[in-house]
Structure 1
Amino acid sequence: MAGSFHGLTVFNNNVHAQNSDSLSQADIAEPLFDIEKETYIGTILQNAANPTFRFDPRKGKSPSAFFAEVDPTPSAPGINEMVKPPTFPNVSPVAPDGLIVSSPGFHFNEQNNAMSAFQNALVPPKPNITISNSETDDGYNVFSKAGCIKCHAGSYFTNHQIIPADKIGTEPSRAKALAKTAKIFAEPLLYSPTENVPIRKNARVLKIPLNNIDEQQLRLGFAHDGKGGYKTPSLIGLYWQAPYLHDGGVAVGYEHNYGLTGTLLKGKPVDPYRSIIALVDRKERQKVIKANASLHSVHITGDGHSFWVDQESGFTKKEQIALAKYLLSLNKGRTEQQ
């Protein structure tokens, strides 16, 4: 929500600073995971795939002392090339994991911003679906009549709002993932993008403005309300995004095989068209949820997003098909399509 590229840079940084290097969280393991720092490091390193980083508790060294001897990036937590922002080890709206990925020789945050610029230039390929102008009109009319347009609004089919998890009804585990950051939440401070890495002493610090962000949306985004939520996704390129929903659970194959257990986990592709039908048809969705029963313990159900376009909601099969084809045909913004 905050920072450059309307928050996209924050998202890109979070993927590379946290999700690809669990050691980067060692300094905040206790408030976030209730795990003491040494235990956290040792637990991760004792099963390291690379023998160089494999910690052996029988050799008498502490996990942090052992890691210090093999750490390829001693100036940063973990092994990735990262910079500690002014608020480290606390997290903030612009550093949700407390760190910023930046390599020596680059400007601060330059690589994350470059990734954001690249992503903003991407255009989905044309979907493998044929739809006439009249079918497009029919599909859009159903899209409006069913109320999809209330959330998937505007030129890019999103209102850019975070919807509470209990309202959207999908698997809430990821929505809650950042809830404990409330304990160590700091103001949004970053070094100036003109600063070079490694960061010099007395480097310029900027406070990133949050005055354009609704406070309730901020609480929802970080689950500081205890529940969290999900941002309304754009529908552009929907054809290429199957399986659907936040847990990726809505999957139907070309052979009418249901759920992830009947498709990807068996090496069988997911059919975007049949999966979209399952997204809006409650009878088809129940087949998906039933097929995913063995995955519920890992938070994959295919449940939620109960906005139906089916016979029980007063829509004909023809209207349902029109909506599905319309949704899967979207690969440009509404203004561009017009």
Structure 2
Amino acid sequence: MSLFLLGCPPSPFDWGNHDVLRDELPGPTIPKYNGQEIPYDEYMKWVAWGEEWFRNETFGNERLLTDVTGFLNGTVEVPDSGGWRKESFFKFFVEAIDALDSVRGNLYNGNGGGYTHDLVVTFPAGSKLHGGLPLPERLHTGLDVEASATWPVGIVAVPAPAQDEKLPYLLDPNLYAAGERGVGTAPPEKYRVGMSCAICHYSLDVDWDGRTDLQSARLGVATPGTPFKPEDAWAVGNQDLHLGWVFISASNPIAALFASGRPGQKTPAEAKAWMEEILRNYESRPQEVTSEIVRGVQMMPRGYFDDTPDAIHNPLQYPALFTRRNWPFNYDGVMLNASDRNNNVWTISFDPSQLVGLCKDRGGKTSKLLFWMKPGIFSVLSSTQYADLITHYSPAVAHDSTQKQKLRDDILGISDGMPGVLDNDAVVLIDDIPAVVPKEVLEHPDNKTHRRVRKAGEFGADGGQRSQMTGMLGTRVITPRHVREQYPVEQLAATYGLNADEFVSEAVSLMLDWVQPPTNHTALLANARSAGLVEKGYEVFKAQGCAQCHAGPFFTNNKIIPLHEIGTNSARALATEPLQTFIAPEYDPATGKAIARGFWGFLGKFFGSKQKYGYKVVTLRYLWGTAPYLHDGGVAVALDPQAAPAGDDLQALLQRDAAEKVYGAGQILAYREAHPESYFRPNAALSLQAILLQSEREKVIAANKEKVYPVPGSTARVAMEDMNVQGIGHEYWIQDQPGGDNITALIAFLLALDDKPGE
């Protein structure tokens, strides 16, 4: 009987009578070897290394970002004596960092200890980018700069090798050393720049009040006068980051077309037609195509990103990455293993040239790899066309036209056996993934020489069952050579039985498992706790059945809720339906491990455990810092800027009249863009009330249908609903009125779910 039951649907972890306000929070997972936990001091070294690699490791994406997209090197046209003077975006960028301490010329001499949670780049009035896009005089990027740093967190400057130093498109701070706004003499190197995870998942403004709380996020670097610790800046979603503006600072924004799309474009068929126009026109009408793509990329709202490469606006909030027992990962739950999730970001998100694996002559030959079930942009793109499209106006080709063939062959994997342009010593191929990587690429002589072709089963005890998710487009990052040379990776592998190839990824996963949400230090919560509202709210939480899904100390039953049941915006789930239905394995919610294949897997499917596409039950920890809510960030309510301040009385705040509130994500975002110094944001308590009260949610949904969100470079406006930000679904209502006793208590409890909810 026990063998038979192995095929039945698995159950989530049973937390029994766990009391989240009194019982101790389960600790992080310390790796074991031969049945014993590794020494704690050794474990904490790995956590620290994981943080270092989270903020600094690029796996070589600086070549893609510098040679192909021209990151930070777009042309700014500045009004000058009746004409236009052309400057690099990078000039204004380094000047902005140098100005953080209000003293010019000392950027490379400590910069006076200047730091910020929001780097503001200033331009002369009337300046334009890419020949037509108006630049604000003060561009709030949302990038964090630590004290005395010369680059923002998450932007990684890599000195170019000597043989490349004459390339004119490398970034050279010394070009801007002198003059009235000169930044001072820099080191002699010229740079390629890459991105790390930290660009989207660090913030020195921990409590989102528009003021910088920390001067550094490095362990051991204290900031006087703040209640927050350096690690409180880790793993959050950066609500200030405007990744759209950051992307279009590049000289070749066409390379970011996967994140673009026509405003209001909502179906794969519309996206396909749009891509056909791009292909027809990008060589003959480059300015028109560039403007079209720039407009679409810039529409990515502040604090959101768009990682489904389908040219359909489907922005998601940057998620917090507190992963302790919070599997499966991603909003849609397709990633069971934290290292698989890391890999997906490091390959596809960090190197869009890897999307060549989705093209119609590669992965696109099978519906198992197309984003959306219906043909979209990659159904009209061959791998060669895609490589040509993103490199045609690249800085490398503009400098030397012979580089076109080399870059194309590198992206296709023809030249060296490795698709994309990440470092070859940091990537391997997964050979049991059909169609994505052609046979001739897999069999390239270099791949055999350097053992670059691997089996999924090499990556974790259940790697064979996770199969394609170990390398969704056929590639997986491994520990790069420079890490192996600088750290005792091989020694640690021998001592503790580690997989040396996974050391960077596993260390990052350990760090994200170790770090905890920041403490909610607000007077609003302190007063509510003193009034007994947190305790009462916990009783309401249980009585209303919330704990059936948001269970245990981490407030999740680790399940995926089918789309028809949860009812939230469908775009994300439908875009990744092929991944969930065909590729992502079934898993045990109690452990996050893939469950049996073969006969036992067949029984599991027969008895109903087949995974259905939808959205995972997310943890509720750190709700106080993650407004707006739902995966689309569509449930957003704020106090009107003209209204009286929120105050420190939770019930009084929740009872405020509707006329004193701003409903809707678009309304709040539009005000923020028009008044960037305001740091206008959704209010956590008011937005939670709109999650739980039907009357408040109806106002939010109606507001999201209003055409208020600005289309860049025009007077047009679109509704957030047309960008798949609706705020619908999760209709588990509390029967109360705004600011009623039960809803107030419940929200007090939800705001208390930080690192130690009971304290």
Q: TM-score, normalised by structure 2?
A: 0.36
Instruction: Report what 2:576 is aligned to.
Output: 178
Q: Which residue identity does 1:219 align to in structure 2?
A: Q
**Farther-moved stretch of structure 1 (274-283 vs 124-133):** 124-133
SS at match of 2:536: helix
**Farther-moved stretch of structure 1 (69-78 vs 253-262):** 69-78
Contact 1:52–1:70, Cα closer than 8 Å, also in 2: no
Structure 2 CA distance for partners of 1:254 and 1:18, relative to 1, 3 Å: same
Contact 2:428–2:475, Cα closer than 8 Å, also in 1: yes
Q: Which residue identity does 2:529 align to in structure 1?
A: S
Distance (whole Å) between structure 2 residues aligned to residue 244 and residue 321 of structure 1? 18
Q: Which residue identity does 2:704 align to in structure 1?
A: N
Q: How far 1:66 sits from its partner (Å)?
A: 4.3
Instruction: Report what 2:747 is aligned to.
Output: 324
SS at match of 2:430: coil
Does residue 238 (structure 1) correspond to residue 583 (structure 2)? The answer is no
Q: How far 1:299 sits from its partner (Å)?
A: 0.7
Does residue 80 (structure 1) correspond to residue 432 (structure 2)? The answer is no
Distance (whole Å) between structure 1 residues aligned to residue 730 and residue 399 of structure 2? 44
Distance (whole Å) between structure 2 residues aligned to residue 12 and residue 44 of structure 1? 25
Structure 2 CA distance for partners of 1:284 and 1:118, relative to 1, 3 Å: same
Distance (whole Å) between structure 1 residues aligned to residue 395 and residue 662 of structure 2? 42
Distance (whole Å) between structure 2 residues aligned to residue 277 and residue 328 of structure 1? 11
Structure 2 CA distance for partners of 1:111 and 1:302, relative to 1, 3 Å: same
Instruction: Report what 1:10 is aligned to.
Output: 340
Instruction: Report what 1:99 is aligned to.
Output: 475
Contact 2:736–2:742, Cα closer than 8 Å, also in 1: no
Instruction: Report what 1:210 is aligned to.
Output: 595
Does residue 154 (structure 1) correspond to residue 552 (structure 2)? The answer is yes
Does residue 44 (structure 1) correspond to residue 44 (structure 2)? The answer is no
Instruction: Report what 1:164 is aligned to.
Output: 562
Does residue 26 (structure 1) correspond to residue 431 (structure 2)? The answer is no
Q: How far 1:248 sits from its partner (Å)?
A: 0.8
Structure 2 CA distance for partners of 1:64 and 1:36, relative to 1, 3 Å: farther
**Farther-moved stretch of structure 1 (243-252 vs 36-45):** 36-45
Bigger radius of gyration among the two:
2
Q: Which residue identity does 1:309 align to in structure 2?
A: I
Contact 2:328–2:558, Cα closer than 8 Å, also in 1: no
Correspondence 1:269-308 to 2 at 5 A? 269-293=681-705, 294-308=719-733
Instruction: Report what 2:512 is aligned to.
Output: 119
Contact 1:42–1:55, Cα closer than 8 Å, also in 2: no
Q: How many corresponding residue pairs? A: 302
SS at match of 1:141: helix
Q: How far 1:330 sits from its partner (Å)?
A: 0.5
SS at match of 1:38: helix
Distance (whole Å) between structure 1 residues aligned to residue 397 and residue 510 of structure 2? 35
Distance (whole Å) between structure 2 residues aligned to residue 217 and residue 109 of structure 1? 30
Structure 2 CA distance for partners of 1:184 and 1:169, relative to 1, 3 Å: closer
Structure 2 CA distance for partners of 1:235 and 1:217, relative to 1, 3 Å: farther
Distance (whole Å) between structure 1 residues aligned to residue 574 and residue 501 of structure 2? 30
Q: TM-score, normalised by structure 1?
A: 0.76
Contact 1:2–1:94, Cα closer than 8 Å, also in 2: no
Contact 1:238–1:328, Cα closer than 8 Å, also in 2: yes
Instruction: Report what 1:191 is aligned to.
Output: none
Give deviations 1:296-326, integer Å, cap 9, x for gaps. Answer: 12111111111111338xx981101111111
Q: Which residue identity does 1:300 align to in structure 2?
A: V
Contact 1:253–1:271, Cα closer than 8 Å, also in 2: yes
Give deviations 1:48-82, integer Å, cap 9, x for gaps. Answer: xx5226799xx7x9976542379999553222343
Give deviations 1:126-165, integer Å, cap 9, x for gaps. Answer: 1122232631221011111211111001121100001101
Distance (whole Å) between structure 1 residues aligned to residue 348 and residue 341 of structure 2? 11
Gaps of 5+ in 2: 1-326, 330-334, 365-369, 371-377, 438-466, 485-499, 587-592, 641-660, 673-679, 706-718
SS at match of 2:561: strand
SS at match of 2:615: strand
- The answer to which structure has the higher helix fraction is 1
Correspondence 1:241-260 to 2 at 5 A? 241-255=626-640, 256-260=661-665
Contact 1:292–1:301, Cα closer than 8 Å, also in 2: yes
SS at match of 1:83: strand
**Farther-moved stretch of structure 1 (106-115 vs 237-246):** 106-115
- Relative contact order (C-alpha < 8 Å, sep 6+): which is higher? 1
Give deviations 1:267-297, integer Å, cap 9, x for gaps. Answer: 2212111110111111211221122220112
Q: How far 1:179 sits from its partner (Å)?
A: 2.8
Q: Which residue identity does 1:328 align to in structure 2?
A: L
Distance (whole Å) between structure 1 residues aligned to residue 473 and residue 479 of structure 2? 17
Give deviations 1:92-132, integer Å, cap 9, x for gaps. Answer: 13333332122532432322212111101111111122232
- The answer to which structure has the higher strand fraction is 2
Q: Which residue identity does 2:533 align to in structure 1?
A: E
Q: Which residue identity does 1:278 align to in structure 2?
A: A
Structure 2 CA distance for partners of 1:231 and 1:182, relative to 1, 3 Å: closer
SS at match of 2:342: helix
Contact 1:2–1:93, Cα closer than 8 Å, also in 2: no
Distance (whole Å) between structure 2 residues aligned to residue 42 and residue 231 of structure 1? 37
CA RMSD of aligned residues (A): 3.6
Fraction of identical pairs, as percent: 27
